[in-house]
Amino acid sequence: MAKKIKKIVLAYSGGLDTSIIIPWLKETYEGCEVIAVSGNVGQADELEGLEEKAKKTGASKLYIEDLTHEFVYDAILPALKAGAVYEDYLLGTSLARPIIAKRLCEIAEAEGADAICHGCTGKGNDQVRFELTIKRFAPDMEIIAPWRVWDLKSRDEEIDYAEAHNIPLRINRETNYSKDKNLWHLSHEGLDLEDPANEPTYEKDGFLEMSVSPINAPDKPTYITIGYEAGVPVSLNGEKIDLVDMILKLNEIGGQNGIGLLDIVENRLVGMKSRGVYETPGGTILYRASQALETICLDKLTAHKKQELAITYGELVYNGLWYSPLREALAAFTDKAVEHCTGSVKLKLYKGNIIIAGLESPYSLYSEDIATFAESDYDQSDSEGFINLFGLPTKVQGIVERKNNH
């Protein structure tokens, strides 16, 4: 089988896994060409020096594809509008993988590749996210997943392999957390975090990259105002701003105030529980602001149904089913549900807390005249008839029980 594969497109990050995969592919599939593809979804400095590194380790070329706009508008925004969350996790990795995998398929077709390779482990969720997307857009393409077939069993053994092949790494054995970084978040897994009894070292220099510990955040609160049009964040502090730039700015502001840290033991798709620490400063702010605006713009039935469907939406994203009919149908529901979520949300950020400081909308369903404790046109005597009808089944149940108990 190996001899038939002459050209392989590799999802390449330049991290530990994909750094050793290129020489492994060249050894395993003798004479094959390896084309590396790196999807830029906002990981910034991690892209520096990638082309030289990829070619030095055996790749014939490297594509660096700027997918930031697609990541934000085609993945993050729909999930934000839906309020999609998986067990409090804001889906930073889950949202990025399908966007990257779709571009892998496009490049593999253009290059006439025989296979697509990824560096995801057999224990994780990302293998599913990559491969379901590949099955959707390149259903006949062979998929190579080295972690499921090679003899390496741990990240320490990967480092041994890299050292034996003179592959330069940016990590060492002491800082060898498994990380994923993009515009939306940074995740940390492994090492001391594998034991849930261990407190994350938030105050240790170098652990947090997008945020600071709330302990080290300023003693003075920061106020911000986010403006919305039909559920889409469009302005920050009164100035129109592109959503990509807004996320970057909110990452900066939120990170300075210790916003968006999450320590969670989550249920992976493959059956095990895993512990991770996430930094999502801007995303946490946007989710909170969107939820706040919905409290005044959505009617009760729509709001409650939207909350129910957000669980399903989050599970679909987490489980790699971004390009599925149900996810797309839920996105259509969401677009309709938030069409009147236009207005502004004022927030106070203070030492890891997001405090609602004011809500305004021309479509607000909140009526101060009706809700006030002061005198109003609301006829309180109407509630007696309502309670009698609403409570009729309860009253009948009580009558029957009393009758049968005597």
Residue 126 known to be catalytic: yes
Q: Which of 13, 19, 94, 97 is catalytic?
A: 97
> Given the structure tokens 């508008």, which residue do they identify?
73
Q: Which amino acid is at 354?
A: I
Q: Kind and range of the H or E element at 100?
A: helix 92-111
Rounded distance between C-alpha atoms, residue 273 and residue 89, angstroms:
14
286 phi and psi angles, rounded to 5 deg: -65, -40
Residue 178 known to be catalytic: yes
Q: Which of 19, 103, 114, 126 is catalytic?
A: 126
Task: Report the first-to-last Cα separation within the chain, whole angstroms.
Answer: 81
Q: Which of 13, 17, 103, 129 is catalytic?
A: 17
The β-bridge partners of 343 are 228
DSSP classification of residue 89: B
- Which tokens go with 309? 């469907």
Residue 148 known to be catalytic: no
The β-bridge partners of 65 are 39
Q: Which of 178, 187, 211, 361 is catalytic?
A: 178
Check residue 393 and give left, alpha or beta (phi > 0: left; psi -120 to 50: alpha).
alpha
Residue 97 known to be catalytic: yes
DSSP classification of residue 186: E
* Residues identified as active-site: 17, 97, 126, 178
